[in-house]
């Protein structure tokens, strides 16, 4: 009976061990992961205990081996040696990178401009990156004025970033459309072109220029944004 118990315990442990990929670094650190894709210079993975969370990149030059869930072992020692002996400059993209899939932006400039018009306004936007180049933003604007009551605008659309957004800067295009409710309801649209900076720590700064159409006033006005936020 004791032997059967020990055998069952061993089989359970083995099943758990091979249900995950193990990345062993050149410093002999082990990372319990799920390898998503292998590129020329880096390996993309998620943590085994958080497979729906943030994706990570690790340079192959920093990997000793990977033990895959099916028992296959991939060694990177030769690749590491060749990299160390190479006279070429190291590939910048081979450094470990954290990929940000979500961005939250606040729009303080809209609040300041509205204040000069006697209106209180606060805008917040959330963008979810479906790929490194495309995101779906959702923006909610709250505003109000004495004697006119409170209103809001709800918009969504698409955002395109020519360069991958993780820890890099670049131009971006966005097109938002939705509904505005303020003493009535109407259509609202806001296409933008701007420049976004995302730091390695995840801080986001961007400026944008666009046209805002309001169905309540039936007018198009110029809109300038100077936003900040964070990525995660």
pLDDT digit string, tens, across residues 145-156? 887 789 999 999
Tokens read off for 120: 């209180």
Based on the domain organization, do 38 and 91 belong to the same domain? yes
Based on the domain organization, do 149 and 61 belong to the same domain? no
At residue 114 the predicted structure's pLDDT band, cuts being 50, 70 and 90, is confident
Range of the domain at 192: 102-231
30/165 Cα distance (integer angstroms): 28
Domain edge (last residue) among 98, 127, 143: 98
Polymer length of the chain: 232
**DSSP H/E element including 12:** helix 2-17
The pLDDT score that the predictor gives to residue 15 is 45
Predicted confidence (pLDDT) at residue 92 exceeds the cutoff of 50:
no
At residue 108 the predicted structure's pLDDT band, cuts being 50, 70 and 90, is very high
Based on the domain organization, do 89 and 179 belong to the same domain? no
Domain edge (last residue) among 57, 73, 98: 98
Based on the domain organization, do 151 and 203 belong to the same domain? yes
The pLDDT score that the predictor gives to residue 131 is 75
- Please give the backbone phi and psi of residue 7, each rounded to the nearest 5 degrees, phi first: -65, -40
pLDDT, average across residues 78-94: 44
The model's pTM: 0.59
3-class state of residue 162 by DSSP: coil
Helices (H), 52-102: 77-85
Based on the domain organization, do 33 and 142 belong to the same domain? no
Positive or negative torsion for Cα 46, 50, 51, 54: negative
Mean pLDDT score of the chain, rounded to an integer? 80
The pLDDT score that the predictor gives to residue 210 is 94
The pLDDT score that the predictor gives to residue 40 is 82
The pLDDT score that the predictor gives to residue 2 is 47
Predicted confidence (pLDDT) at residue 122 exceeds the cutoff of 90:
yes
Based on the domain organization, do 175 and 76 belong to the same domain? no
Neighbours of 137 (CB within 10 A): 19
CB 95 within 8 A of CB 124: no
CB 153 within 8 A of CB 122: no
At residue 19 the predicted structure's pLDDT band, cuts being 50, 70 and 90, is low
In the chain, the DSSP E strands lie at: 21-25, 30-38, 42-47, 55-59, 63-67, 73-75, 97-98, 102-106, 120-131, 134-145, 149-160, 169-181, 185-198, 203-214, 219-231
Based on the domain organization, do 112 and 78 belong to the same domain? no
pLDDT tens digits, 171-221: 889 999 999 998 889 999 999 999 988 887 888 898 999 999 988 889 999
- Cα distances from 118 to residues 59, 111, 122, 213, in angstroms, run 54, 10, 13, 20
The number of distinct structural domains making up the chain is: 2
């Amino acid at each position: 009976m004791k032997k059967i118990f020990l055998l069952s315990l061993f089989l359970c442990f083995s099943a758990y061990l091979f249900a995950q990929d193990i990345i062993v670094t050149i410093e002999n650190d082990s990372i319990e992961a799920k390898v998503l894709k292998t590129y020329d210079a880096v390996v993309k993975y998620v943590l085994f205990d958080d497979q729906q969370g943030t994706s990570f990149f690790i340079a192959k030059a920093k990997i000793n081996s990977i033990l895959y869930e099916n028992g296959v072992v991939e060694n990177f020692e030769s690749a590491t040696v060749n990299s160390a002996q190479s006279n070429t400059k190291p590939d910048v993209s081979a450094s470990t990178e954290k990929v940000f899939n979500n961005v939250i932006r606040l729009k303080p400039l809209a609040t300041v401009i509205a204040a000069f018009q006697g209106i209180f306004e606060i805008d917040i936007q959330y963008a979810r990156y479906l790929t490194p180049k495309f995101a779906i933003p959702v923006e909610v604007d709250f505003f109000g004025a004495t004697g006119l009551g409170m209103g809001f605008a709800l918009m969504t659309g698409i955002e395109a970033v020519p360069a991958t957004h993780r820890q890099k800067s670049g131009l971006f295009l966005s097109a938002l459309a939705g509904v505005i409710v303020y003493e009535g309801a109407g259509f609202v649209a806001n296409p933008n072109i701007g420049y976004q900076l995302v730091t390695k720590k995840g801080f986001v700064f961007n400026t944008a220029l666009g046209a805002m159409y309001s169905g309540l006033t039936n007018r198009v006005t110029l809109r300038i944004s100077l936003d900040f936020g964070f990525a995660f």
